[in-house]
Amino acid sequence: MLARQLATPPFEMHLALDGMFWRRLAYLGAHRAPAWFVRLAPPVIGAVIAIAAPQARRKIVQELERARGPVSAWRSAIDVTHTFANFASCLTEVLSSGSKNGQAPEVVVHGRPQLQALLALGRGVIFATAHTAGWETMGPFLAREHALRVMMVMGRERDPSASELNDSSRRAQGGLDIVHVGDNPLASLPLLRQLRDGGVIAMQIDRVPDGMSARPVRLFGRPGAIPEGPLRLAQLTGAPIIPVFSRRTGHRRYAVHVREPVMVSRHADENEITAAAQRLADALGDFVSAHPTDWFPFNG
């Protein structure tokens, strides 16, 4: 990852679609534009980007077909446009945090009793999540409902400045801390402390960055892989892994789906760990297949 960043000239990186120039422009719009514009403009901007960014569009076409199977060209175009529009709306809602346009999202949790029961055990919880619409919303929700903070583990974006802007906006929502484990070999220590103190860790399992340990699985009926980190953390601490995936249902409205927990015993052998990984992959595949345009596989 670092080698790719160093190989990309800073000026070119900042002007890329995921670079600081466009992200900063979106940030200023989310903070200073009228509320009606912040609500209505992002889907239109997302649709324009879907047309103007052929490489990103082809990536989404490929991933959507992998997730929900082949469809007609017309349906594919609609789904791709919807994905970009969803992404633009979610990004704007995050970037507006802490401004006059920032509001707490409305979150409906499907499987809430099960989640509450697992949190009440006080053993710590690992959320296995993904790059889906509103994945950040569990931070504010748990802070408000359970006085808990979510420690989110994720990789940096190509442009460090854009990454930091996103991170600061996510933190401004409340209840969410961002940790970039790849930056420091000792960065896993806060994760262990968080779980042993009964806290919540969230890790995205739909991408495996370069250099990250992975476990082979079947995903969308084909060979794939998910990060091994959640499985090893669960094995070390005894914390359950809960697949938690989100989708956007309206302006600042999200639905969070909590699946059955996956347990990894401290003495699990390789076959047991692989079986646990497959259960996580199955949960991810089921959700994305049902809600493909709420999944944002722009990288990886």
Q: Which of 73-82, 100-109, 268-277 has the lowest mean pLDDT?
A: 100-109
pLDDT band at 5 (very low <50, low <70, confident <90, very high): very low
Position 38: which residue type? V
pLDDT band at 11 (very low <50, low <70, confident <90, very high): very low
Q: Work out the average pLDDT over 188-216.
A: 88
% of residues, the chain, pLDDT over 70: 90
79 lies in the same domain as 110:
no
% of residues, the chain, pLDDT over 90: 57
217 lies in the same domain as 284:
yes
What is the maximum alpha-carbon separation in the chain? Answer: 56
The residue among 57 and 15 whose pLDDT is bigger is 57
Position 119 scores a pLDDT of 87
Domain boundary among 95, 118, 145: 95
Domain count for the chain: 2
282 assigned to some structural domain: yes
Domain boundary among 61, 95, 129: 95
287 lies in the same domain as 215:
yes
153 lies in the same domain as 283:
yes
130 assigned to some structural domain: yes
CB 175, CB 31: distance < 8 Å: no
Position 3 scores a pLDDT of 42
CA proximity to 109, closest of 151, 141, 150: 141
With 80 as the cut, is the pLDDT of residue 160 above it? no
269 lies in the same domain as 123:
yes
29 lies in the same domain as 132:
no
CA proximity to 283, closest of 158, 163, 130: 130
What does the alpha-carbon distance between residue 31 and residue 168 come to, in Å, rounded to a whole number?
14
61 lies in the same domain as 117:
no
Q: Work out the average pLDDT over 116-127.
A: 89
56 lies in the same domain as 195:
no
299 assigned to some structural domain: no
Q: Which of 108-117, 169-178, 214-223, 233-242 has the lowest mean pLDDT?
A: 169-178
126 assigned to some structural domain: yes
284 lies in the same domain as 139:
yes
With 80 as the cut, is the pLDDT of residue 188 above it? no
Count Cβ neighbours within 10 Å for each residue of 66-86 and write b for 16 or more, e otherwise. bbbeeeeeeeeeebbbbbbbb
89 assigned to some structural domain: yes
55 lies in the same domain as 110:
no
Position 14 scores a pLDDT of 46
Q: Work out the average pLDDT over 237-242.
A: 94
pLDDT band at 172 (very low <50, low <70, confident <90, very high): confident
CA proximity to 202, closest of 141, 269, 117, 270: 141
192 lies in the same domain as 149:
yes
Query: How deeply is 36 buried, as exposed, middle or buried, from its count of CB atoms within 10 A (0-12, 13-18, 19+)?
Result: exposed
Range of the domain at 87: 2-95
Position 177 scores a pLDDT of 85
CA proximity to 151, closest of 93, 251, 233: 233
List pLDDT tens digits, range 127-156.
999 999 998 888 888 888 888 888 888 876
101 assigned to some structural domain: no
